[in-house]
């Protein structure tokens, strides 16, 4: 059993040393788990410099898992949550109505616990223009955050791994566009992280998070608290 699974290292440097070793050993799920534990510790301490450095191995772990999911060459379309009790294979998973965005997060978490490389998306009902709205949901600090984008449906309605990857990229781009750059960097760190929870495989979003953390670390003093954005219901279309 790996140290990631058996115990928690006592310090942030130990966590990151273990994450580096896990990456070298291609134990990408363990590496991600360790990075997320380190990130939680750094966030609690307000250590923006450490958060920016943790983002890079987190990006690499997720990149490798995403490659494994795409390379599997399969897309599973779900209209119910029966896979909770069934066998799961590496690949892409697309949730369709009546399932909603918040359930895609649950499926992603389930597959992560089972160490199944997967790219998970959820689409909402087809629009009047024939587009497919794709949605991602993050937990958020006070309430869930939601990213949405409308994309062209796949040919004949059958999504391929390439279509899934392109839709995921469009969703991440939409999430990046929702970040308010008028906010100070230490506020934007929380916003970008919440959208990264909604679209965890988007590399440019991880890179935006790292850069925002570096900007926050360079601030001479912290900003006062601010009001949060309006609630966006992830249980609705």
Q: How far apart are CA 49 and CA 188, in angstroms?
A: 15
pLDDT at 226: 63
pLDDT at 223: 83
Token pair 């608290």 is found at 225
pLDDT at 82: 82
pLDDT at 2: 47
pLDDT at 86: 62
Q: What is the reported pTM?
A: 0.89
Q: How far apart are CA 124 and CA 118, in angstroms?
A: 20
pLDDT at 227: 59
Give the rounded distance of the alpha carbon of 51 from its chain centre.
Answer: 16
Ranges under pLDDT 70 in the chain: 1-10, 84-87, 226-237
- Residue 165: CB atoms within 10 A of its CB come to 17
Angle (CA) 126-95-169 rounded to 5° is 80
Q: Are 222 and 134 in contact (CB under 8 A)?
A: no
């Amino acid at each position: 059993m790996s140290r990631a699974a058996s115990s928690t290292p006592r310090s942030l440097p130990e966590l990151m040393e273990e994450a580096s070793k896990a990456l070298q050993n291609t134990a990408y799920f363990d590496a991600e788990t360790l990075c997320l534990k380190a990130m939680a510790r750094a966030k609690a301490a307000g250590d923006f410099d450490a958060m920016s450095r943790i983002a890079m191995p987190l990006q690499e772990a997720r990149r490798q898992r995403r490659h494994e999911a795409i390379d599997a060459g399969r897309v599973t379309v779900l209209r119910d949550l029966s896979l909770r009790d069934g066998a799961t294979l590496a690949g892409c998973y697309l949730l369709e109505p009546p399932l909603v965005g918040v359930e895609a997060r649950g499926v992603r978490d389930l597959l992560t616990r089972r160490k199944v490389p997967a790219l998970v998306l959820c689409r909402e009902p087809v629009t009047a223009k024939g587009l497919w709205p794709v949605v991602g949901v993050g937990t958020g600090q006070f309430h869930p955050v939601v990213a949405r984008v409308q994309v062209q449906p796949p040919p004949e309605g059958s999504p391929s791994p390439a279509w899934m990857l392109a839709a995921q990229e469009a969703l991440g781009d939409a999430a990046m566009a929702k970040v308010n750059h008028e906010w100070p960097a230490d506020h934007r760190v929380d916003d970008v992280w919440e959208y990264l929870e909604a679209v965890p495989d988007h590399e440019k979003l991880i890179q935006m998070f790292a850069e925002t953390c570096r900007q926050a670390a360079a601030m001479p003093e912290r900003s006062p608290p601010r009001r949060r954005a309006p609630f966006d219901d992830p249980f609705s279309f």
